[in-house]
Structure 1
Amino acid sequence: MNKKVMLIFPPEWVPTAPYLALPSLAAVLRQNGIPTVLKDINVEAFDHYFTQNYLEFVRERIQGRLMRLMEKEQKEGLTDEERQLKEGFIQYTYVDIPHHAKKVERAKEITRGPEFYEVEKLEWALNAFREVMEFISISYYPASINFYPVESNLNVYRPWVSEDLFRAPHDRDVNIYIDLCERLVYPAIDEEQPDVIGISIGTPVQLMAGMTFAQLIRKKYPDIHVTVGGNITTRLKDEIAKKPKFFDRAFHSLVAYEGEHALVELVRALEDGRPLSDVPNLIWKDETGQVRVNDKLHTERVNELPIPDFDGMPFDKYFVPDKILPYLGTRGCYWGKCTFCDHGAGYIDQYRAKHADRIIEELKEMKEKYQAKHILFTDESFPPALFRKLPPMMIDAKLDLFWTTLIRFEESLLDPECWEMAAKSGCRSLYFGLESANERIIKLVKKDTKIDVAIKNLNEAKRVGIWSHVMGFFGFPSETQEEAEDTRRFLLDNQDIIHSVEMYFFVLYKHAPVWDMMEETKIDVQVNPEHDLALDYYYTPENGLSIPEAMQRYQQFYRDDYDPWALRVNAREHVYLYITHFGTNDLPQLYVRNHPESQTQMAPEVIL
């Protein structure tokens, strides 16, 4: 009898669509006859937050912390910070729980139903969620727990410091993931009785929740084999392998790189009582106490993989009115040259693509099986060859789908007919990686973007009704203020063909190729030994923008220049649904500038 597997996706991630990791793993496990249960605890947590039961629990937490502070005040006095915290707790004990519970239940109804497309109501709903998240956050002070954007942080516990990851599961005052584990994860384990639990940690903000879950599960259920995997644990595999404490307290094994067949082999080895030394991509601790890194590696053959299996995903809990399914046509990046990017560290081999006819077959099957018309291609960068080839095939197959993806500005995509076919096939929004509009910086980051080509791509996208979102950053090592200004000016000068913008400041990632350009960029990297799980580093440049100056540039942009792009609805998936619903990339109702605050506020009686 096959061992039963439970796959867990922990907070924090956007609650608008499933993350592809669990359905991809489940498809191969189930194909091999292994019973598999999927638990998207991320979206279940957000759904759980917005209930009267949980809000009453939060008020009890606040009252409990208040009582402890008052007792301490009588015995030994309070610090200034503690006195301020006590006053905050006192104020929040008077929160009208039934009123706010009613608001967020109504807000969930709006985001999951046809009223979603009435932007005033949607904006009201999102603000209702954020208001309640402030109430939740105060109960876990000094943690900051957010709805969207996903920027939750325990603050006193840093996910890039291993000792903090080990200490956090013991602090009920601050670590919200302890309560989520007890209220959402334990009941699922008790009901399903899995033999193996896999925790997928795909993003840095999930590391704290994932490691908290792992340690608590490992302690409460010592007979369950706990394994972790995902892009982040893969990037940290060398550091984790040096710390046996992870394998003693958090998990039994770590699956690096792609995990589909590696996880199948792990389950089979556990079932047969075989040593784990033959399981590909595995890091584990043997009976002698030695951490073993298996030499055997496995790269998935993408054309032989089954379609993602979403059975068991809680589609009714995502904060959208229509299903959005993620899908990968390729693995790795066809370009693979960008010096700022560290995504390649998640793969053994870089770029592999499915055959176009297979993509068509799988999209058709997914649409029919899950009754979904919205596809999110999660490819790291959609290949131009596929952008040209796939749309005519989608049209001929009468797929009748909508889709969106990340893409580069490409000189091979100048043919107007190519864009017309993309729009006709259902492409409704594209996320362009500009990075910089300065020629020298473009060469340094090896993006090879031609600015005139970028403008032509943007014009074509707008002409055919495709929404263009442009992303960039300030402060690539050696970039001057004047060079940064080129990027700012490009955005401002072309705002009529750019629908939305996302700017940031450059971050020096651990595995990015820019590390091989130290002589060229002339930066001095500061490595803090305490930050043993750091995925990015602070540095000082010999010339050009420092990190504080790049951050100031980024802040000034959002303060002084962002007004033309300020949206009332910020989630990418929400904007995508608006475009598909209204059938146009001209959506003035989404912009803040077109709706003064006095006009966007709705009376409570209208909503409730």
Structure 2
Amino acid sequence: MKSLLIFPPDWLPSEPYLSLPSLASVLRPAGHEVSQIDVNVEMYDLFFSPRFLEHVSQRIANELQFLQEVEQKRALNEEEQELMQRLLTCTPELFQQFSADVERAKGILRGKAFYDIDQLEWATNCLHQVMALISLGYYPAQICFPPIETDIVYKPFMSSEILESLDDDQINIYRDVYSMLIRPVMERERPMMVGISVVQQKQLIATFTFCKMIKEEFPGTHITLGGNIITRIRDTLPEMKGLWEWFDTAVVYEGESAYLKLTEAVKNGSKDLSQLPNLIYKDDEGIHTNKEVCSEALAELPPPDFDGLPLEKYFVPNLILPYLATRGCYWGRCTFCDHFQGYVEGFRTKQVDQIIGEIKHLKEKYGTRFFHFTDESYPPALFQKLSRRLIDDKLDIAWTTHMRFEESLLEEQVWKDVAESGCKYLHFGYESGNQRVLKLMDKATKLDAIETNLRMSSEAGIWNHPMGFFGFPG
């Protein structure tokens, strides 16, 4: 059976997200034909192209013509006057220049020129300017690169506003993204099933835009939603009746085994989905949440399968592959954290031999030595063991991961080994520099350990990125 896996915008276009490759790695060995499309990175590659700028040029011309027609009937208000002045600056010469510049800018971000600060600054400024131009074509939307500040006016945390956004041709840029990127794949592949992985709230409007347009054009397609955000809203999702018009099922918690079983059921034409794990589904009688849940045995899962993703299109000079050796958080006590909601089972880890074997496999298969270990928080014992094995096995990789500050990591040799193993950059959960607040957070972190971990890792040549926040209660 043909299945299409979609990762929607908006997300950082620097590396693949693991959800689709993790599903592909279990679906393909089971005999299912799988296509996976990272619409997020494909979208940004499209935005920065002469083709899309020509499309935006026409939209801006139409907006300008509309305002000019309004002006003949009445005086423009202040906002309309300001918009008209901005639209008038969008000359054919400007579009022609940007059409040439965006290709060069993409080349800089994806090549060795990335490391030339002057060229990198020019390229990023160019792409920011192009995004401002694109935003004018979808006014009043603000579409950004990277996407953290993107705002298309509608609130993605309100189902009523999501529904309202779906048919808005002026603001909802994802309608055009669907037409240019997803519709051609649907027409070519004709998948029986589409799975969409939603990992952050801002992806919801794009997700349901795609769902609605797929259902309208390919009504027989079974659409399944999954991912961290779907799991987080699992209790309220059955109540969002309007959204259920545009999809069929939702997989919550971990998805590999659950999605595979659902795929088999859809393939076999099963009408009874009530016994499938981790599933919310609709039928003629309503929307149902199954009681059975399952979690994954990590040792039994294959390494991620990135085949079919546009690995050359990520906006980095060298391909970075994500890899996950653990699930859950070994600490799991921080009072501000809700990461545990994504799992029905506690912390689990693969063994070092398996981790080393899979990293070696991915390095050889995809021709890259750059890895992002996307674990929630790397356990200190595994951190040390893996570093030694990477050295002993001479894997010659460059890697980064996410860490807690730990009193068990206070020996200089530990950090020397970590650096020698290829670690270049660490994200640390700093959270607060106040010991009283750290205690309220149940971090069990001492300020002197924070200082020592940072100093030793820095002296070993590792870049550090501490992450904290303000306003913790208490």
Q: Do these two structures clear the TM 0.5 threshold for a shared fold by scoring above it?
A: yes
* Cross-structure match for 2:146: 148
Instruction: Report the CA distance shift for 1:349/1:92 in structure 2 as closer, same or farther (over 3 A).
Output: same
Deviation at 1:145, TM superposition (A): 0.5
The residue that corresponds to 1:28 in the other structure is 26
Shift in Å at residue 256 of structure 1? 0.6
Deviations 1:310-341 (A, max 9, x none): 00110111111211000001011111111111
In structure 2, the residue matched to 1:69 is 67
**Is contact 1:62-1:93 (8 Å) kept?**
no
Q: Where does residue 266 of structure 2 map in the other structure?
A: 270
Give CA deviations for 1:444-502 in whole Å, capped at 9, x if unaligned. Answer: 11112111111111111011111011111111113xxxxxxxxxxxxxxxxxxxxxxxx
- Quick one: which of 283, 289, 293 aligns to 2:289? 293
Is structure 2 residue 238 aligned with structure 1 residue 241? yes
Q: 1:77 offset after TM fit, Å?
A: 4.3
Q: Work out the CA distance in 2 between the residues paired with 1:246 and 1:138.
A: 29
Structure 1: stretches of 5+ with no match in the other structure: 479-608
Q: How does 1:154-169 map to 2 (within 5 A)?
A: 154-155=152-153, 157-169=154-166
Structure 1, residues 20-68: CA drift from partner, whole Å, max 9, x if none? Answer: 1110111011121111101001000110011111111101101112222
Pick the aligned partner of 2:193 from 186, 192, 196: 196
For 2:322, the equivalent position in structure 1 comes to 326
Q: If the length of structure 2 is used for normalisation, what is the TM-score? A: 0.98
2:393 pairs with one of 397, 412, 421:
397
- Runs of 4+ in structure 1 deviating by more than 6 angstroms, as ranges, are none
Residue 60 (structure 1) aligned with residue 58 (structure 2): yes
Q: How far 1:72 moved relative to its partner?
A: 2.5
- The 3-state SS of whatever aligns with 1:404 is strand
8 Å Cα contact 2:208-2:243 kept in structure 1: no
Matched with 2:278 is 281
Gaps in structure 2 of 5+ consecutive residues = none
Cα distance in 2 for residues equivalent to 1:150 and 1:105 = 23
Q: How many residues align?
A: 473
Question: Is this contact kept in 1: 2:419–2:460, CA < 8 A?
Answer: yes
Residues 329 and 376 of structure 2 are in contact (CA less than 8 Å); yes or no, is this contact kept in structure 1? yes
CA shift, 1:307, in A, is 0.3
SS of 1:187 mapped into structure 2 = helix
Structure 1 residue identity aligned to 2:307: D
Residue from 445, 457, 463 that aligns with 1:467: 463
Matched, 1:86 2:96: no
User: In 1, are the aligned partners of 2:319 and 2:370 still within 8 Å (CA)?
Assistant: yes
In 2, distance between residues paired with 1:95 and 1:50? 17
Q: Does 1:220 align with 2:217?
A: yes
Aligned match for 1:129, one of 103, 127, 132: 127
Deviations 1:119-176 (A, max 9, x none): 2111211111111011001111111101125321102x11011011111111111011
Deviation at 1:78, TM superposition (A): 3.4
Is 2:99 the partner of 1:107? no
Rounded to whole Å, the distance in 1 between the matches of 2:218 and 2:77 is: 40
Inter-partner Cα distance in structure 2 for 1:96 and 1:243: 44
Q: For residues 133-532 of structure 1, what are the structure 2 equivalents within 5 Å?
A: 133-148=131-146, 150-155=148-153, 157-248=154-245, 250-274=246-270, 275-288=272-285, 290-478=286-474
SS at 1:276's partner residue? coil
SS at match of 1:278: coil
Change (3 A) 1:366 1:186: same
- Residue 76 of structure 1 deviates from its aligned partner by 4.6
Amino acid at match of 1:70: Q
Q: Partner of 2:336: helix, strand, or coil? A: coil
Residues 370-399 of structure 1: CA distance to partner in whole angstroms, max 9, x if unpaired? 111001000011111111111111112211
Contact 2:10 2:147 in 1 (8 A): no
Q: Which amino acid aligns with 1:280?
A: P
Q: Secondary structure at the match of 1:388?
A: helix
Query: CA separation in 1, counterparts of 2:31 and 2:409?
Result: 44
User: Partners in 1 of 2:232 and 2:337 — Cα distance?
Assistant: 13
Identical residues among aligned pairs (%): 47
The offset of 1:83, in angstroms, is: 2.5
**Deviation per CA, 1:506-541, whole angstroms, max 9, x where unpaired?**
xxxxxxxxxxxxxxxxxxxxxxxxxxxxxxxxxxxx
Structure 1 segment 534-553 matched on structure 2, within 5 A:
none
CA distance in 1, matches of 2:10, 2:136: 18
Contact kept, 8 Å, 1:24 with 1:308, in 2: the verdict is: yes
Q: Cα RMSD over matched residues?
A: 1.2
In 2, distance between residues paired with 1:164 and 1:27?
A: 36
Q: Which residue identity lines up with residue 386 of structure 2 in the other structure?
A: L
Equivalent in the alignment of 2:41: 43
Give the conservation status (yes or no) of the 8 Å contact 1:8–1:199.
yes
Name the SS of the counterpart of 1:228 in structure 2.
strand
Q: Is the 8 A contact 2:166 2:205 kept in 1?
A: no
- Give the residue type in structure 2 aligned to 1:197: V
**Structure 2 CA distance for aligned equivalents of residues 414 and 201 of structure 1:** 38
Q: Residue 201 of structure 1 contacts residue 231 of structure 1 at CA under 8 Å; is this kept in 2?
A: yes
Deviation at residue 245 of structure 1 after TM alignment: 2.0
Preserved CA contact (<8 Å) 1:63 1:93:
no
8 Å contact kept, 1:247–1:284: no
